[in-house]
Amino acid sequence: MMKHINHKIIYASLVCLMTLSFSSCNDKLDITPKGKSTLGSVDDLEMLFNQQYDFGLPFTDLGLICNESYGQTVNVPTALSQKSTMLYSMIAWDESVDRASLTLTDSRYNNAYKYINYMNTIINKMPGASGDENKKKALEAEAHIMRAYIHWLLVNIYAPQYDEATAAKDGGIAYVTDLNVTDVKSKETVAQVYDKILADCSDEYINALPLHSNDVLRGDQAWANAVRAKVLMQMKRYADAIPYATKALDINPTIEDRSSVLTKLDWILPKQSKSNLLYMGGLLFTETISPETISLFERGDYVKDYAFMNGQTSPGGGGDDDSDAKMQACAKILKKNATRTGFQDGDPDDDYVPVNSANPSWSPLYGMMLSGVMGADTYFSMQSFVNGYGITSDRMYYTLAECLIRTGKYKEGIDLVNKVRKNRIGESYYTDLSATNEADAMAQLQKCKWIECLATYENFFDCRRWNTEPAYKRTITRNMTDLNGNTYSFSIAPNSKLWIFPFPQDAVRKNPTLTQNY
């Protein structure tokens, strides 16, 4: 018999998940002098790849900037009342907030350079390490490509978007390649950073990796080709990216089949999913998405319209009096205002009701309760591990599709979009998309890709890139109504400095070259 959901358990689980953090300690690195290590064998050095990469959850900040989300369990009206905070600046898109002074530290930034140091340890010590000589080349190549990938993530968060016309002058990040962690690492230009990224993910290193890896935390040639493809696409070198994206998908063409939701009643996405080329993710649990994002879901989406909250077809009681009362009040508001966006076409006379409407995993009830915003949905299921900072083969189809579209191959690009959509939309609602020009093809890709890339860095990175292209840059508007009927409207321009995150103060104090890039 299906058990009801106990709200006390849900809230306890929520608190636990929000306080968990991953750490990876290696005693052999914790020695003096600082920056040195005693790692002397190939096997010891290989252990440095065994990381639970912790960059946080993209939807808690990157998703706020591009209006994918309202973050994680953020009460928006409360956040808007606290104006001297980073959270306020991201929700209200207020450029007057001194974000640099508010960013005392940044675990994503600091962890990234910790992992880069691990890669540098492998690269610098591998030639003299004892052990299997046949493994050395592959491990060193993997470290080079991982070093490239992590720097690529950093430069796309803390520096301006790559633009060929300005990259040689735009401030970038420090590209660290040595083990002298006490030395000041000078900030380089965006162009210099990208030159080093490309050198670190060269064909030589790509081909030195094994063709396949059975470990989603380790790189293979599919992942390596995907890294180079994404770097080149972000540089807007679309034709150059095509061969690498194609090779990545030739090696691993996996597309996750979400029709399994029909029998499992929940979206079960494990960390070990075959579509994870390399996993750097976390639970989707409690991302709250904006009404603008919700409007982009297609009717018949397997997760949106068929997946039940934790696989349970009906909601349960058992919460405390206050939470139950709040749920009942929100449920009444939902019914009265008909805010449920199962009606994707906006037709009030449409009688379409999603199969999971009694207890959906993308919950409008919890969206309203947690965010305090009408029309928001919160993901309230705990078996979906989204690869937020890693790369999946599913999303590589969209990388290749856009590169094809941008080079005039509209049909080929849209065909790849459809290939993924067939595994996302119920048969009763699925129809092929088609396009005969770039504008139409891009409009369809952008809508579908946005949903495919929820809870990842990709929507934020795409917006930054498109913001430097006249045909695709746009001002984003966020419209919200709270539970008391108060309305809010904010906008962010393509050239807003909010698209660049500040360097944390604990890094700036140690490195005077880290002037802010906005």
What local confidence, expressed as pLDDT, does residue 219 receive?
Answer: 97
Instruction: Please tell me the number of Cα atoms within 13 Å of 344 on its side-chain side.
Output: 14
What is the C-alpha to C-alpha distance for residues 139 and 54, in angstroms, rounded to an integer? 21
What is the C-alpha to C-alpha distance for residues 217 and 197, in angstroms, rounded to an integer? 20
If 0-12 CB within 10 Å is exposed, 13-18 middle and 19+ buried, where does residue 504 land?
A: buried
What is the C-alpha to C-alpha distance for residues 276 and 215, in angstroms, rounded to an integer? 10
What local confidence, expressed as pLDDT, does residue 138 receive?
Answer: 97
Three-state DSSP class for 117? helix
pLDDT per residue as tens, the chain (518 positions) = 333 444 444 444 444 444 443 333 344 444 334 555 678 999 999 999 999 999 999 999 999 999 999 999 999 999 999 999 999 999 999 999 999 999 999 999 999 999 999 999 999 999 999 999 989 999 999 999 999 999 999 999 999 999 999 999 999 999 999 999 889 999 999 999 999 999 999 999 999 999 999 999 999 999 999 999 999 999 999 999 999 999 999 999 999 999 999 999 999 999 999 999 999 999 999 999 999 999 999 999 999 999 999 999 988 654 566 666 655 666 666 555 544 343 344 455 567 999 999 999 999 999 999 999 999 999 999 999 999 999 999 999 999 999 999 999 999 999 999 999 999 999 999 999 999 999 999 999 999 999 999 999 999 999 999 999 999 999 999 999 999 999 999 999 999 999 999 999 999 999 999 999 99
What is the C-alpha to C-alpha distance for residues 188 and 191, in angstroms, rounded to an integer? 8
What is the C-alpha to C-alpha distance for residues 197 and 175, in angstroms, rounded to an integer? 9
Q: Which two structure tokens, joined as six digits, stand for 183?
A: 């030395």
Residues pairing with 301 in the sheet: 425
Instruction: Please tell me the number of Cα atoms within 13 Å of 326 on its side-chain side.
Output: 15
Q: What is the DSSP letter of 41?
A: B
Query: Checking DSSP bridges between strand 377-379 and strand 287-289, what pairing results, if any?
Result: antiparallel
Rounded to two decimals, the pTM is 0.90
- Rg of the chain (C-alpha set): 23
Amino acid at 56: G
Three-state DSSP class for 208? helix
Largest CA distance in the chain: 72
What local confidence, expressed as pLDDT, does residue 342 receive?
Answer: 38
> Hey, how many other C-beta atoms are within 10 angstroms of the C-beta on 253?
13
The answer to whether the CB of 377 falls within 8 A of the CB of 289 is yes
What local confidence, expressed as pLDDT, does residue 38 receive?
Answer: 74
Three-state DSSP class for 55? coil
What local confidence, expressed as pLDDT, does residue 351 receive?
Answer: 78
3-state secondary structure labels for all residues of 303-344: HHHHCEHHHCCCCCCCCCHHHHHHHHHHHHHHHHHCCCCCCC
Q: What is the DSSP letter of 377?
A: E
Phi (first) and psi of residue 487, to 5 degrees: -110, 150
> Hey, how many other C-beta atoms are within 10 angstroms of the C-beta on 68?
27
Q: What is the DSSP letter of 464?
A: H
> Hey, how many other C-beta atoms are within 10 angstroms of the C-beta on 164?
12
What is the C-alpha to C-alpha distance for residues 57 and 62, in angstroms, rounded to an integer? 9
